Amino acid sequence: MTQAAIHAPERPEQDFLSGEGFCLSEATLQKFGREVAKYPEGRQRSAVMACLALAQEEIGWLPPEAIEAVAGFLGIPPVAALEVATFYNMYDLKPVGRYKLTVCTNLPCALSGGAHAAEYLKEKLGVGFNETTPDGKFTLVEGECMGACGDAPVLLVNNRRMCGRMTPEEIDRLLEDCA
């Protein structure tokens, strides 16, 4: 399988998050508004997952300030947004590398090469699960079933791009394609 080149999202400078001047961009806030508009009046909290994803897309991860900003926009308690952010592993509560590689190690994948794929990636990148390579390029994460067991072993790039049948050769190709 030939992989197209994968480009990491643009990330702001880290000092974007420091001090009291934290704010999401106007473009992201407008997207929040469009998500809220999908739900009936008074049900704006239903947009919490989408808004958290948009905030993460802008910043690269979800610092407490971003979670509070989402909660503030939706008019819900910060803890309600935090509960969602901590429940789903697509939300990153600490900085990750430019490429987050989530390897499924649930049983069907594990029995079909998932465990080996994870070990291969650990060895190749020189990191364990929940660790980032020293150059900040890759973060390796252990994931749950992604509903693509028939394509095992499966991994997900940056929470979006699903890659199946990840033999060592395919993993090598994928890593090379990460620009």
166 Cβ neighbours under 8 A, 6+ residues apart: 113, 117, 153, 154, 155, 174
Residue type, 100: K
Does residue 104 bind ligand FES (CB under 6 A)? Answer: yes
Which region among 11-19, 61-69, 74-82, 100-108 touches ligand FES (by CB under 6 A)? 100-108
Nearer to ligand FES, 81 or 156 (CB): 156
- For tokens 């239903």, what's the residue? 46
Smallest gap, in angstroms, from Cβ of residue 111 to ligand FES? 9
Smallest gap, in angstroms, from Cβ of residue 96 to ligand FES? 21
Token couple for 54: 């948009």
Name residues contacting ligand FES, limited to 23-52 (CB under 6 A): none
Which region among 22-30, 53-61, 70-78, 143-151 touches ligand FES (by CB under 6 A)? 143-151
Does residue 113 bind ligand FES (CB under 6 A)? Answer: no
Does residue 163 bind ligand FES (CB under 6 A)? Answer: no
Nearer to ligand FES, 6 or 145 (CB): 145
Does residue 118 bind ligand FES (CB under 6 A)? Answer: no
Residue type, 39: Y
Residue from 152, 163, 166, 174 in contact with ligand FES (CB under 6 A): 152
Order the strands of the 161-163 sheet from edge to edge: 131-132, 138-143, 99-104, 155-157, 161-163
| CA distances (Å), origin 127, targets 38, 56, 86, 121 | 41, 23, 23, 8
Tell which residue, 81, 50, 76, 62, has the closest CA to residue 24.
Answer: 62
Residue from 146, 155, 171, 178 in contact with ligand FES (CB under 6 A): 146
Contact 61, 92 (CB under 8 A): yes
Contact residues: ligand FES, CB under 6 A: 104, 106, 108-109, 145-146, 148-149, 152, 154
